[in-house]
Amino acid sequence: MLENIGVGHHNEGESTNCLLNAFVNQLYEKAYGYNPYVWEIANMVREGVMTREDGYNKIYTARASGILKVAQERLNL
């Protein structure tokens, strides 16, 4: 399915609900000014599960606009 929208098979945060998750994360960031997963990712960095650089990239890397556009279209927005 995602191959058809030009984003390959990589999805937002490796989530199975990538279309909705990417869209809701964008709304959350707009409303509150930060990624909703910032606390979870920061904890994983502190525990040594991921590097600080990887955590930073997960939080601040731009989302694929194709995923966001498809989510908006499917929600009739």
- Rounded to the nearest 5 percent, the helix, strand and coil shares of the chain are 65, 0, 35
> What is the pTM assigned to this prediction?
0.61
User: What residue ranges do the domains of the chain occupy?
Assistant: 1-6+33-77
Look at residue 27 in the predicted model and tell me its pLDDT. 87
pLDDT at position 16 is: 55
Q: Which residue has the higher pLDDT, 5 or 40?
A: 40
Q: What is the mean pLDDT of residues 61-65?
A: 72
What are 1-20's pLDDT values in tens digits?
444 444 444 444 445 566 78
Residue 11, phi-psi category: left (phi > 0), alpha (psi -120 to 50), beta (remainder): beta
Give φ, ψ of 48 to 5 degrees: 80, 15
